[in-house]
Chains A and B, each alone.
Chain A
Amino acid sequence: MNHALVALGALASAALCPVPVACAADAPSEIRIGHLYASAGRFASISMPVHYALKLWIDQKNADGGVFVKGFGKKIPIKLVDYDDQSNTSTAATLYNQLITQDKVDILIADSGSVLTSVAVPIARDHKVMLVDPTGTGAAFFSPDNPWIALMADPVSTVWPKPVADWVSQEGPRLGIKKLAILYSTNEFTGTQANAARKFIKESGAPIEIVFDQGVPTETSNYTVLINNIRAANPDMVLHFGYAPNDIAFLRNLADSGVKFKGLFCIYPGLETDLIEKNVGEKGLQYVMTYVTSNDLAYKVDFGMDLPRFRDAWSKKYPDGKVEFGFNSIAGYTTGLVLEKALGDMASLDQGELRRAIFAQSGKLKTLDGTFGLDETGGQIGELTPLGQFTPDEHGHLKLNAIYPQDTATGKPVYPRP
């Protein structure tokens, strides 16, 4: 755009929108938080819990008079400005822009789910607005030349598989795991995890041979032939990295074809336990290993509610159970807690100050989601996901035990499965 146009624009906007510019020393009457959610489409099931949890946090704070901001020396109420992007990326992009340019929000929170977060990254960067990213883990978002993003509530995709890879390479050989199979869906979230897991295991130097290593399209809905092929490779342990529908299809096909692997890891049984159990059945989940999220681990907290209290607050506020409580609700609430803590440290509502304050919490903030930790690009490297396993208790009901690393373990691994 040429200078004449810009000048014309400045003139026009001065004439058309005479917005009074608030003096920095004056406390604003409210903090405007902008947020997108998806009530329908592919990402609805992970987006809505985050949205509901944020609303819970905001209502709680506002009932208390608002959030304390250091620079103004008092509590200021929060105003939530939110839109529904229906899981559509181009709609989301337009709405992010709306939040920044028209609604002029003080804090911008992305929709969860990497694809919906992805469109916000360049927009926030362009406007030099800090993007508060609840759970979007895409590796492409975090780069040294983009300071305007921080990941709040789960680790970047490369960090997720660390515990399972460590367990396989350190405990595996002792238990008889010599041959490993890796099957993954070829998309950013699960593909990156498979690559990272493979790399960790190879670099560990453990005497483990990868006998099957294949990526399949994310749309794959039948795994029977693949399961047969994996069985033909005769692995001691199978790692399956896929989205929830992939896990459902894989575990169901496994049950239907009567194949039992000695050890099996899947992502989603630990993240969306209710959904997977509904579709796969308790029997299909027996002895399956998975990530243990803060949904199943009660971390000691320094700030905010702990897991039981948050769960109580959730069921009190949303008694109809339409949006299921799970890891994503915790992620939404954690996002609120990080912001609350950061605001308490901010001299003004300036975006650079917001960035400084968020990064300042790294390593210091312990919430129900674990220890908040950022690397220099804004990627989350605290809040780890230990390895867990579903084992039947004496009544035959499933119980998810954390099994690795040792310091968070609540049970012993059962390998090979009986």
Chain B
Amino acid sequence: MLIYSLLSGVLFGLYFSLIGLGLNLVFGVMRIVNLAHGDFLMLGAYCAFWMYTLFGVDPVYAIPVAFVLFALIGLPLYYALVPRLLAARDPEMLSIILFFGLSQVIEALSTIAFGTSEQSIPGSELGRSLRAFVGWLAGHDIESGPIEVFGQSFPSAWVMSAIASLVAVAFVYFYLYRTRTGYLTRAVMSRRDEALATGIDVHRISAIAFGIGIALASIGGVFAPFMLGSITPAMGVDATVTSFAVIVVGSLGSPLGTVLGGLVYGVSYMLVQTYLSSWANLLPYLLLIGILLVRPSGLLGKRVRLA
């Protein structure tokens, strides 16, 4: 039971990292709190759901579609909301309220469009085409079903989402450390005012980061019907809170920190669920507060504390 919980914690924790990754990027670059993060995850989930329901598309293909679609939505959304917000006196605080409003609008429109009842995609559909391909290579059919990891069997969706999460982390790393825009993004992250002074187009850099941020959320959403039971328009709030716990536990600005945060969160969640199940939902909040208060400020960036 202990080993199973630990391994589950690692796999599920990687999924949590995927959920938190985009939020981390947005907060790191813009210092704004995207309370609608979970709602973009929800939209990503419906994107996969409708692609499957209408055209029978394997949700794996929904990943690139959702990524491009939401990155494109993110750019104009950034220009519509953020520059005006940053001009106000206290943008960090006001962003909480602004994005809460956005979250309400998204949830309301989704409720009107999708209805309130739970939806999902059958578990065997995720990676159906991958299985067919592997089966073709191997010369025999591959059954859908649990996958063995270190002698324990886990739902295949867990393994696939963990892999997707690692790929996404690698992508963000590559973007930040191996591209020119990424280099500028890091400059904006560390010193926004100086970046502005040196002539960097801060808004363009931020808009791209914002687009990538919500695109990553939508990828997390593609796996949601498999990882979170079922999807409804109201699911965004829980996802947002979880994401915050993950990125705060890890460190802001660094994708590796988010992985760490996800793993810590996932493993401790599964352990509590196993040994003290009814307290499981207290954990993320205590972890979040505890880490915020105890963790040395270095890991969390310089501006965490005041007074």
Contact = CB atoms under 8 A, between A and B. Distances in A.
B123 A225 contact: no
B288 to A, nearest CB: 16
A380 B230 CA distance: 32
Given A42-B234, A281-B122, A221 B277 contact: no
B212 to A, nearest CB: 26
Interface string B1-40: 1001100100010000000000000000000000000000
B181 interface: no
Contacts of B229: 221-223, 245-246, 248-250, 252-253
Interface residues of A, number: 37
B4 A228 contact: yes
Contacts of B238: 219, 221
B118 interface: yes
A186 interface: yes
Interface in A308-323: none
A232 B1 contact: yes
Contacts, number: 97
Contact of A41 (B158, B234, B280): B234
Contact of B153 (A216, A219, A223, A257): A257
B154 A222 contact: no
A352 interface: no
A73 interface: no
Contacts of B301: none
Nearest to B269: A225
B117 interface: yes
A214 B153 contact: no
A275 B118 contact: yes
Contacts of B234: 41-42
B230 A249 contact: yes
A242 to B, nearest CB: 10
Given A216-B277, A217-B281, A281-B122, A225 B4 contact: yes
A224 B155 contact: yes
Interface string B239-281: 0000000000000000000000000000000100110011011
A253 B155 contact: yes
Contact of B5 (A214, A225, A248, A252): A225
A217 B230 contact: no
A169 B280 CA distance: 31
A248 B8 CA distance: 20
A24 interface: no
Interface in A62-119: none
Contacts of B120: 248, 252, 279
Contacts of A205: none
Contacts of A249: 228-230
Contact of A45 (B116, B157, B281): B116
Interface in B115-135: 116-120, 122-123
Interface in B189-231: 226-230
A257 B155 contact: yes
B123 A256 contact: yes
Given A41-B234, A217-B278, A258 B111 contact: no
Interface of A: 40-42, 44-45, 186, 214-217, 219-226, 228-229, 232, 244-246, 248-250, 252-253, 255-258, 275, 278-279, 281
